[in-house]
Structure 1
Amino acid sequence: MLDQIVDGPDGWTGVDADADWAAEVRRLAAERNAVILAHNYQLPEIQDIADHTGDSLGLSRIAAETDADVIVFCGVHFMAESAKILSPEKTVLIPDERAGCSLADSITAGQLREWKAQHPDALVVSYVNTTAEVKALTDVCCTSSNAVDVVASLPADREILFCPDQFLGAHVRRETGRENMHIWAGECHVHAGISGPDLTRQAEENPDADLYIHPECGCANSAIYLAGEGLVDASRVHLLSTGQMLDEAGRQGSGTVLVATEIGMLHQLRQTAPGVDFQPVNDRASCSYMKMITPAALLRCLALGVDEVDVAVDVADAARASLERMIAIGQPGGGE
């Protein structure tokens, strides 16, 4: 089966996710004492073969508590880095090391150093969707579900540098009313592409639908506007992390829900609440980086022990401290 794998323009291909593939993946995972983690935005067949599916921080914390020797992180590169930061003694593999992230890439460590130099007394709050080097320069990390709590916990007289997502930052500023908060102009290209007009059109066509909106989305402000103007019942508008979407889905029961996040999330939502009609606000909202983790890539990774992710000890120690400060505040929530 390994000799069928080829490296194409969209990643590793040549293997179908059939019963033989699944059996071989499970055999290789057992042989390596590996735990397979799959992010909610992964291909359905990758989610289904994984030992654990969820958001990146939650998965990393689960993996740290297992007795596995190897963590295979089916996600993008910064997620595998977070797993290594929290499990420095374990081997961490990502099925395709080329799987990057436009949001994490929207701020570099060098750019953050320059920004900090312009605001020397400010505290840095970084979303977990950042590189290890950025986390290492951060005072406290946050997730989309606890970003408001993290910022609210910091001294009111200290400036805040919030990075990298401008839409999540705008949500936090709106909820906290914090005026001394500077927001980096970064974004996830997939979430930014889920626009206000997309949401407005879908909401008009589905007037009784609930709305699950990820705070990273470009349509988040539009959702609040629609509710404020009475065009959508405010009780139907939910700004949620991916983990919170699953919790809300479990309470939903029936009806239609319009979902504004990467479309891979629909697989988990439909499994959680099969009686609900989940529909994407934008059916083209697919992350090409997430989809680089193919069945062929996972098989290759487990068979050959590639691609390993490592983080320098000093960087990992500093990054871990920023994550631990977040956890100490409480309600660490989900990763995205």
Structure 2
Amino acid sequence: MAITDRRTFTLALAHALSAAEHGLPVIPLSATKLPALRSPHRGDDRPRSCRGACGLPGHGVHDATTDPAAVRALFAAAPWATGYGIACGRAPYHLIGIDLDIDTTGRNDSAAALQQLALQHLFTIPPTVTVRTPSGGRHIWLSGPPEVAVPNSAGRLAPGIDIRGTGGYLVGPGSTTLRGTYRLVPGTGSLPPAPCPGALLRLLTPPAPTHRHHSHPDDRGRGLIRFVLAADEGQRNTRLFWAACRAYEHGFGDTLADALTEAAARTGLPEHEARATIASAARLTTTRCEPPR
């Protein structure tokens, strides 16, 4: 390992240990902002819903821990790590990340969009931990109630506003990526994550779905199956992967996996290839629903 790489790794570990000491569950990240450890199930033919129960590292955000010894062990297994991720939705803060992206085209202003939402729905963002991203965007940290699972989303609230909730993670301050370093906005590092305003929380949590028959996919699932069935020969794997990602993001991926496999098989995709594609989607979306920025 080069001296610069070793220094970057050492700093990342130090920042991760500090975050863990403050109750934030962490995992090592590579310079691409993805979990540094690969899944131990990546060669499996069939999708697995393992979330770390096998005892092996490499389950993305499910590896996140506040135990210093476990943090050191994860980083020791990934000496190429240059940063760390902080798991959202976990005790004690049940962190919610508001990711304000920068649109280089100038068409969308995420900060202005958030301000407009605040005016429209009568809430204010309280003083809280804020992290500046290498692109010039910001991550706003908020604390959610333990009984509410905030889903991850990209652009659903407004263009350029992504949400990191349960099952997602935020790139921690002090992390170095291919685009630069994540840094705390001055004056916010000593603050705890502020409680998420109730009006904003309601925007972030869609109504609970009603399931008439738990053994059958809901309307969204049927739409995804139709999407796969409509694939031409050159689109089969791509369409299946996209549909599986959407299913896992919305929490019914495991339920829909067999139906998606059957649909892909009807288009001519071999079953083992279809299941491998769905497994890849499951691994991707359990560590991140959309790439963190």
The two structures have a TM-score, normalised by structure 1, of: 0.27
Bigger relative CO (Cα 8 Å, ≥ 6 apart): 1
